[in-house]
Structure 1
């Protein structure tokens, strides 16, 4: 086969030999004039010459689908002359199936050839420039004999393999995996090759190593039969960082062969890929499957690992160098103009908020205020440096009211989420775990639930069952950080996550005579960190028919309900919004909207805070009204503006936040004496409600839940029956006769309590 023309003039043989020594030394049975080099050039030559610009390693921070030219400046003459390493990316989308197959099947052979060919192209460009100009170095011209060129291969977030695909058949193959970083060691120096010299005859022997303990060669093969001693000055070393990647919970639930157990793969990071990820990051890694020596606990057996060729963030940790949040720029180009137009068209719908609330967990009937608060927690407030922007939500109520189902629904709708159960989790499992590497004894950290939810939401179920682990949540909920001081190690990391927790009252039934903390077995510091608290109570007998019909209809349309939902007309009135579209909208709102508080909204929030302070001083409510109350109103107002894709917080947004917070407070305050006034004795302990007061409290609670100021006769009778009245109809007539209720047009309205 005839060699390509560039292999001859103007590339001297000594330059080709030098470049081959730099890039092709691992290919023992191949040379730069081999036919395989010509075949690779015929396949990739045009791409290497036209679509692979050289860049600094700092340009690796751009996200998939983003134009690299918009992120990194062109390579300057100073950079080209001073840096020792430059990178070039092989555009995966421009490759055909045959090219991708060749890279995936034999990466250990093809990738060094591609680096060699790109170095030859760079040298020829430099030689042509030197022959045509005498004005000094030109922009972007690199001396390939002095600067190392490293190939970067990314799959742009697509084509990722399942963790089940990692096996003996995939060794030396190129694979892409996605997951969450749960453990990251510190960089360490390992020896790739060590020189040994015989202590008698002086013969030199080179031994390739895999890191770890030094392995001495056997006795010298000469007549001397001497022993070899290491020559440290001739050793070849490199830095390696080990990373443990856990597959996402979605992959586990979608049918993994591990029966619900998330698999973990070990990643080896080298060179430019070290120290750019953090525990909790959601990343995509492309690498070559290999084997490495296991630790002593595993019996020293070899285990599979992945030698990373690229690491790309998928919207993760705020401190990571790869994070794409807050980059600014043209968001329409990032998300697509059609998708952005669809988002703004959705917001223009007159019933936009109602549709969004109804589309979140449609299997649970009602609880509109709770779902609205969950949506606010998904987007959060505007990020600030001095206060947190995350909205924390607590759901309490009797068992069987759908709290866990709503937690799963909001976790599915969040762009990034994690879910844990407090009664089966330790404080380390909720935050981070301090451990030691079994091989070298170095201190490492493994991510817990809140770290996995960084940048999104963390759902904690049965929070009342894990009282000993509550202290671990105090710092992350207020300071948005996790700190550890243990065994002489100080560690702190930022964590931005919204906590959405659910729990049951003590004994399984909410007791109005007790305080909120006594009902929940939660400490006052933890309760004060929740922005909104909702009490979910069992439905009244009048609502049983509606709930029964709703549940049965969900089962009747089970086989085709999801398709009907996904195919609903998004612009039609009352159409359900698919969960996938809610996820995309939430991410878009978080990335693009930074609403600013207006004067009118600030006045509304100020008046609401002052009024709440007066009520606390007069009525001694169960939860104190502190400046945290005002900060909660600010965050919820900003979150409401985000859901409407506005740049300013209006007075309507402020009123929405005030009303929602009042309804949350009212939900657990109405059980006290006189429909919500708590006990005057600290810690609870009030008289039992009379049937008359209990019936009035039930009627007021149902009106607030329905958002109306009147009830039908059947609904009012049901409230009296739930209050324990022996004759509900007689109690209803008595309330009407005494003026507590007024009947008008066949409906009952609540009058001011007597």
Structure 2
């Protein structure tokens, strides 16, 4: 019956009576299952088919668990020989649908649309890497991310052929989803009595399209999820063929489970020397029978179920005292300190509440965080941990990422030569987070490409005749270094940060992480690092006892929060937030009026929305339906410790050092006439460690080095002998 299986077929023009009887028995069994299976005194499939027919949908969705309960032998036949059983199943559905619509036999027309079977399964998933020749022709269930979807095309099911010479017509049923139609190589016209058989040329048949039957078909490409790919290997992908009502159900970036028949097809692959390709080699694909995806609101929420014990445990955890501190300390426990950054990452993982306004405008609830600082401050480790604990996440590096790799690219199908879209990192991480390391190493044009994705959470494509919009509802956690490699205290934040204002305004929290030389803190970090290296494997059990949450439980809790909680601001909290924002803008205006330059980190309405999102995430972390004044207080504190601190970073210290540098520069010019030289150590003794010159006792070595550096840039002093001596060369 079908040529989709890995078997050798012998067919005849007229099938035997035994086969007809066997097929009729199978159709009768499928028919009885649809009509007689019931749950809680309700015939679910009979009613489902009736409801679908009322809206002109000729399909029926079947759970294979129900078929196992009703008739295990029938399910075994379906699993062992799906390519032959599914047409019989669909014929049984069509017969029942015809009876439902036309009660009287006289009213039944000769042509009736064929109904489609949609099969869903709760069987164990098979990894894409484990699919082998033993699965060919069997029903399998796989999961992954849809990375591309072709446009709809027409697939022929019954093709009408006509001989060019003698006009003989032939009807063929096409069962393969992919590959070419195998038309007869010679004319099949029977020899008429008292006449000679016409001599027709080879390959005489042409397709008569208006007498052929077509259905809609779409080709998808499914890729492994990043957590299923072993380190150092490329992700595998598989072609999927969906038809009829299963088309246009998924878009690039959708995470879904696919149930279908693992099949093979012969692709067009002519050799370079002009010969034929090896006909014994077949390419694998899956003929999809059912698609299971999460709902549009949350890719990870509604696809996960929780037991009553889990829900009680999560509620008890969220309402316990000090849970916010415990959850934040459980983020990257191997990293010492950085409490506020860990709390910001906790808010990013939980996220705020998405809102859809009456006019259709969407307000994002995802929080974006930028970590900007010196090397060796554990920024990349925080990103790696966030990627590990987030239910949906993608980690990428700025230097190795392009605009197309982050957003979407347009590819050309080698078979049909049509263009189709392949989603990038921000599309594939829809509903999760994207961790971008080395954010400052990206090219400006690549960084600009994610502007729309970070605020509107969509990606607009207008390439090669394709104009579309893809969803990218992701949070961005980025890490970057200052423009000079290390943060320069002598320069303003705008001079240290090599980012445009447009990208900085899209980050809800910006942390400047400096590697400060503090002996007490250095000792604590050294003890912590040594403890991790010496007792790292033993400490895991102790950490659980101390109250830190394991990674798997934290991941499940994040899923639960995203699914169940959507807090809103109370009136008092909203009033306090608005007055606080007005106060911030007033202070910023005063600072800009006193200084010559404007801040490179803007404080706009986006920052007010950022504080609202942080407040909602703190309430969501406690599974509270309303964000109270307590949550607003912590959100304002976090915002001040991050973005506001970055705006006014080291302003008082910088002014003091600048004053010292100005005084030192004047004395250096007096100390070194043009043409004179001296050593740096002598200058240090005179300016920083001399008791004979009380004027200069309080001067810092850092200020001296800055003064020498500035004078060198002004071409008034030259360094020689690797900075050990100083020579005044003049203007």
TM over 0.5: yes
- d(CA) in 1 for partners of 2:182, 2:90: 32
Unaligned runs of 5+ in 1: 1-24, 56-67, 132-136, 680-685, 692-723, 736-754
Match of 2:194 in 1: none
Q: Is the 8 A contact 1:198 1:204 kept in 2?
A: yes
Residues 490, 109 of structure 1: CA spacing in aligned structure 2 closer, same or farther, 3 A cutoff?
closer
Q: Is the 8 A contact 1:416 1:455 kept in 2?
A: yes
Describe the SS at the equivalent of 1:610: helix
CA distance in 1, matches of 2:560, 2:271: 45
The answer (yes or no) to whether the contact 1:284–1:314 under 8 Å persists in 2 is: no
Structure 2: which 5+ runs fail to align? 1-11, 192-196, 593-598, 664-686, 699-731
Contact 2:410 / 2:464 at 8 angstroms: preserved in 1? no
> 1:547 deviation in Å?
2.3
> Is the contact between residue 104 and residue 175 of structure 1 (CA under 8 Å) also seen in structure 2?
no
| Aligned CA distance change for structure 1 residues 38 and 76 (closer, same or farther; 3 Å) | closer
**Partner secondary structure for residue 399 of structure 2:** helix
| Structure 2 residue 533 is matched with structure 1 residue 535 | no
2:252 to 279, 283, 301: 279
Alignment partner of 1:159 is 2:134: no
When residues 417 and 440 of structure 1 are mapped into structure 2, their CA distance, relative to the original with a 3 A threshold, is same
Contact 1:359/1:577 (<8 A) preserved? yes
Match of 2:365 in 1: 389
Secondary structure of residue in 1 paired with 2:159: strand
Following TM superposition, by how much is the alpha carbon of 1:377 offset from its aligned partner in structure 2, in angstroms? Answer: 1.4
Q: Select 1:418's aligned residue among 371, 390, 394.
A: 394
- 2 CA distance for matches of 1:191 and 1:105? 26
Q: 2-side partners of 1:555 and 1:622: how far apart? A: 40
Identify the match of residue 229 of structure 2 among 231, 235, 252: 252
Deviation at 1:201, TM superposition (A): 3.6
How many Å separate the matches in 2 of 1:199 and 1:94? 49
Contact 1:433 1:446 in 2 (8 A): yes
Q: 1:635 to 1:84 in 2, by over 3 A?
A: closer
The total of aligned residue pairs comes to 625
Aligned-partner Cα distance in 1 for 2:554–2:372: 25
Asked whether the 8 Å contact 2:501–2:600 carries over to 1, the reply is no
TM superposition score normalised by structure 1: 0.73
Maintained 8 Å contact 2:26/2:88: no
Which of residues 359, 365, 374 is equivalent to 1:398? Answer: 374
Deviation per CA, 1:228-261: give whole Å up to 9, x if none.
34322332322210111110111113x7xxx421
8 A contact 2:572–2:629 mirrored in 1: yes
Separation in 2, partners of 1:101, 1:689: 85
Which one of 623, 638, 643 corresponds to residue 665 of structure 1?
643
Give the Cα separation in 2 of the matches to 1:503 and 1:287: 44
Give the whole-Å Cα distance in 1 for the aligned partners of 2:60 and 2:310.
Answer: 33
Identify which of 304, 309, 312 aligns with 2:284.
304
SS at match of 2:473: coil
Q: Is this contact kept in 2: 1:297–1:438, CA < 8 A?
A: no
Matched, 1:590 2:562: yes
1:334-363 CA distances to partner (integer Å, 9 max, x unpaired)? 533322211110012111001101111212
CA contact (8 A) 1:467 1:522 kept: no
Larger radius of gyration: 2
Structure 2 residue 468 is the aligned partner of structure 1 residue 491: yes
- In the alignment, is the contact (CA less than 8 A) between 2:389 and 2:551 conserved in 1? yes
Deviates more, 1:454-463 or 1:38-47: 38-47
Please give the residue correspondences for 1:399-548 in structure 2 after superposition, counting only pairs within 5 Å. 399-468=375-444, 469-538=446-515, 540-548=518-526
Partner of 2:712: none
8 Å CA contact 2:419–2:464 kept in 1: the answer is: no
Find the partner of 2:116 among 150, 166, 173.
Answer: 150
Q: For 2:435 and 2:511, how far apart are their aligned partners in 1?
A: 15
Structure-1 residue corresponding to 2:617: 639
Alignment partner of 1:289 is 2:241: no
Deviation at 1:33, TM superposition (A): 5.8
Residues 178 and 283, structure 1, Cα contact 8 Å, conserved in 2:
yes
Tell me, in whole angstroms, the C-alpha distance in 2 between the residues paired with 1:395 and 1:73.
58
**479-488 vs 388-397, which moves further:** 479-488
**Contact persistence 2:144–2:256 (CA under 8 A):** yes
- Residue of 33, 39, 49 corresponding to 2:36: 49
Confirm or deny that 1:225 pairs with 2:199: yes
SS in 2 for 1:458: strand
Alpha carbons 1:296, 1:438 under 8 Å: kept: no
Name the counterpart of 1:195: 160
Q: Match for 1:576 among 536, 548, 556?
A: 548
Correspondence for 1:15: none
Partner secondary structure for residue 508 of structure 1 = coil
What's the CA shift string for 1:363-383, capped at 9, x where partnerless?
A: 212211111111211222221
Deviates more, 1:40-49 or 1:463-472: 40-49
Distance 2:57 2:252 in 1: 29
1:212, distance to aligned residue in structure 2 (A): 6.4
Mapped partners of 2:341, 2:568: distance in 1: 25
Q: Give the Å deviation of 1:603.
A: 2.7
What's the counterpart of residue 378 of structure 1? 349
Q: d(CA) in 2 for partners of 1:272 and 1:459?
A: 36
Change (3 A) 1:261 1:75: closer
Given that 2:221 and 2:240 are in contact with CA atoms closer than 8 Å, whether structure 1 keeps it comes out as: yes
| Separation of aligned partners in 2, 1:247 and 1:547 | 39
Alignment match, 2:146: 181
Q: Which residue of 2 aligns with 1:615?
A: 587
CA distance in 1, matches of 2:551, 2:113: 49
Question: Could you tell me whether the CA contact under 8 Å between 2:504 and 2:602 is conserved in 1?
Answer: no
Cα distance, 1:667 vs structure 2: 5.0
Q: Distance in 2 between matches of 1:660 and 1:346?
A: 23
Partner of 1:682: none
What is the CA-CA distance between 1:52 and the residue it aligns to?
Answer: 8.6
Partner of 2:718: none
Q: In the alignment, is the contact (CA less than 8 A) between 2:120 and 2:259 conserved in 1? A: yes
CA distance in 2, matches of 1:233, 1:302: 31
Aligned match of 1:168 in 111, 119, 133?
Answer: 133
